[in-house]
Chains A and B, each alone.
Chain A
Amino acid sequence: MRTVYLDNAATTRPDPRVLDAVRAFADEGYGNPASTHAEGRATALALERARAVVAARLGAPADELVFTSGGTEANNLALFGVAWEHEARGRHLVTSVLEHASVLAPCAWLERHGWSVTRVPVDGEGFVDPDDVARSLRPDTVLVSIGHANAEIGTLQPVDDLAAACGARGVLFHSDACQSFTKAPLGGDRPLPDLVSLNAHKLHGPKGVGALRVRSGVRLQPLLHGGEQEGALRAGTPNTPGIVGFGKAVELADPIDNERVAALRDALLERILAGIPGALLNGPRQRRLCTNLNVSFPGCSGRALLAEMDRRGVRVSRGSACSSGSTRPSHVLTAIGRTPDQADGSLRLTLSRFTDAADLDAAFEALQQSVIAVRRAS
């Protein structure tokens, strides 16, 4: 049976060339990059080369990139780091109802400790209105955190406009770009958000490595103490093989693949909407992450659908990997107005550059059969 992996928003298969680079470096580049002997210097050089590659793709100076253990740590560092550094100025944060758990949970923690948090709404396709964000800013607002691409429905937020709205009021702006990095441009010819979270494993890199872009001049408190690594913002010996793999993964990420993947995704969507009665797209058709498809199949249990798809060799998910075990309806689908039945019967199918047309033929056939089987059983 053909196996089709369509859960690339949860994580991607590492590119073999990335694994080669990680293995080689883990074997030979074992020096601590803080050591001044030859092995240490060689590791420090590899670390800085990777930093330069990742930062250049983002469009930021290399010295503004802090390597972390992944996107979750980067989001935590952005939120807690700003909050703790700037609390004398104010204790108000703004985010959206749609954010990833690694943004919403730190916000909730801060709220329990005396901060006030405004969660702006989204429209039926998951877009935040920059005017809503501008209206929510207060004299005591220290940070706005709105992710670039939503992990569940792929909505690409107007980050440029959000950054401009915050910049005009002197409020720091953070964006979680873990889903979109190398797949959708961030900033373009306008300034990047002050803080940007990235990770490697969503782009065929290794797990356990990510980064936070911290614009020069922005002060943060570290989460981890005990060393001066990463500009004293992230104590601990860096995961240098992972960082080398991150750099390699970014080098290999070719924007041409994004157009091809988007075309495959669009073709699959059309087949689903035409071939499966009641199918309903979640999220927008335009300004959507090229790899993302999220569809509701009313009258189906999403859990049963996922199991049927898995039995047929097609790996999909019901939502963000960090909440996929939850029995509650997706907060994202609820926020865009889906009914409990529509939210429960949703599947997320996420492609990668390793996905081809034959994969999607098999996935569509499995999906048709699965929906029939689940509807018949219910």
Chain B
Amino acid sequence: MSNPIVADDRLDLRGVKCPANSARALVRLESLDAGAVLEILLDDGEPIESVPPALADEGHVQLDRRRDGAGWRLLVRAGG
């Protein structure tokens, strides 16, 4: 059984519309060391559809994605 991933930082983007949610996530990831893990809370619908690809486009790696109540919880590793 693999060890659970521990996030280094957390960003709650519930209620934040697109594309501000992607932008805030990118700015936070830019502030982290490469390899650090950011936990992101996101709304369902357009946010979960558009934020992960926007982060991947900038080299950040999604490690996990799971339902969290009505929204989503992502774990993303900051790219270099």
Contacts and interface: CB of A to CB of B under 8 A. Distances in A.
Contacts of A310: none
A227 to B, nearest CB: 11
B16 to A, nearest CB: 8
B3 interface: no
Say which size band chain A's interface belongs to: 10 to 19
A36 B50 contact: yes
Nearest to B24: A48
Contacts of A49: 27, 30
Contact of B27 (A34, A40, A62): A62
A52 B31 contact: yes
A41 B22 contact: yes
A24 interface: no
B26 A48 contact: yes
A88 to B, nearest CB: 24
Q: Is the interface of B mostly helix, strand, loop or mixed?
A: helix
B66 to A, nearest CB: 23
A50 to B, nearest CB: 9
B79 to A, nearest CB: 15
Nearest to B15: A231
A60 to B, nearest CB: 14
Given A36-B50, A62-B24, A63-B24, A44 B31 contact: no
B20 interface: yes
Contacts of B28: 52
Interface string B11-33: 00000111110111011101100
A52 B23 CA distance: 11
B61 interface: no
A45 B17 contact: no
Contact of A36 (B18, B26, B30, B31): B18
A306 interface: no
Interface residues of B, number: 15
Nearest to A31: B19
Contacts of B26: 45, 48
B48 interface: no
Contacts of A35: 19
A34 B24 contact: no
B36 interface: no
A52 B18 CA distance: 18
Contacts of B30: 49
A291 to B, nearest CB: 30
Interface in B17-68: 17-20, 22-24, 26-28, 30-31, 50, 54
B27 A48 contact: yes
B17 A34 contact: yes
A193 interface: no
A35 B24 CA distance: 15
Contacts of B19: 33-36, 40-41, 44
A63 B11 CA distance: 10
Interface in A23-62: 33-36, 40-41, 44-45, 47-49, 51-52, 62
Given A33-B23, A40-B19, A44-B19, 11 more contacts: A33-B19, A35-B19, A36-B18, A36-B19, A44-B23, A45-B26, A45-B27, A47-B20, A48-B23, A48-B27, A62-B24
12 contacts: A36-B50, A41-B54, A44-B23, A47-B23, A48-B20, A48-B24, A48-B26, A48-B27, A52-B27, A52-B28, A62-B27, A228-B17
Report, nearest first, the 3 A-B pairs whose CB atoms are least far apart: A44-B23, A48-B23, A45-B23
Interface of B: 16-20, 22-24, 26-28, 30-31, 50, 54
